[in-house]
């Protein structure tokens, strides 16, 4: 059986005056939305290069999201193994 799908991802950045960059990542699968968060802190002595903060914060948000995806998949596998049926999905609410 073949399967195709499309998940939408939105990544937003916010930088504070103190050199902290925050990344907020939302992945929408159509049935579930997961949110990842990441931050990067610039040392006051380091040069101000916003792209580096964005890269670090985005990478950390992606890692956070990856952990959530793996936990969700593991939960779903356990649910299928325990009941013999496909797991029930939330409708658009974060897990």
* pLDDT tens per residue across span 18-54: 889 999 999 999 999 999 999 999 999 999 999 999 9
- Average pLDDT for 7-19: 94
State if pTM tops 0.75. Answer: yes
Q: Confirm if 39 and 57 have CB atoms less than 8 A apart.
A: yes
Q: Tell me whether residue 89 is in a domain.
A: no
CATH of residue 16:
3.30.160.240
Q: Tell me whether residue 2 is in a domain.
A: no
Instruction: Tokens for 52, please give them.
Output: 């580096």
pLDDT for res 92: 52
Domain count, the chain: 1
pLDDT for res 26: 98
Q: Tell me whether residue 72 is in a domain.
A: yes
**Model confidence band, residue 1 (pLDDT cutoffs 50, 70, 90):** confident
Q: Answer positive or negative: Cα dihedral of 72, 74, 76, 82.
A: negative
Q: Tell me whether residue 91 is in a domain.
A: no
Q: Tell me whether residue 63 is in a domain.
A: yes
CB atoms within 10 A of CB 53: 22
């Amino acid at each position: 059986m073949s399967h195709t799908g499309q998940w939408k991802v939105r990544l937003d950045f916010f930088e504070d005056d103190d050199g902290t960059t925050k990344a907020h990542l939302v992945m929408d699968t159509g049935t579930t939305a997961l949110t990842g968060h990441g931050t990067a802190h610039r040392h006051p002595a380091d040069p101000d290069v916003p792209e580096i903060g964005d890269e670090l914060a985005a990478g950390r948000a992606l890692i956070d999201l990856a952990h959530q995806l793996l936990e969700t998949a593991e939960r779903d596998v356990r649910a299928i193994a325990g009941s013999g049926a496909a797991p029930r999905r939330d409708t658009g609410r974060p897990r």
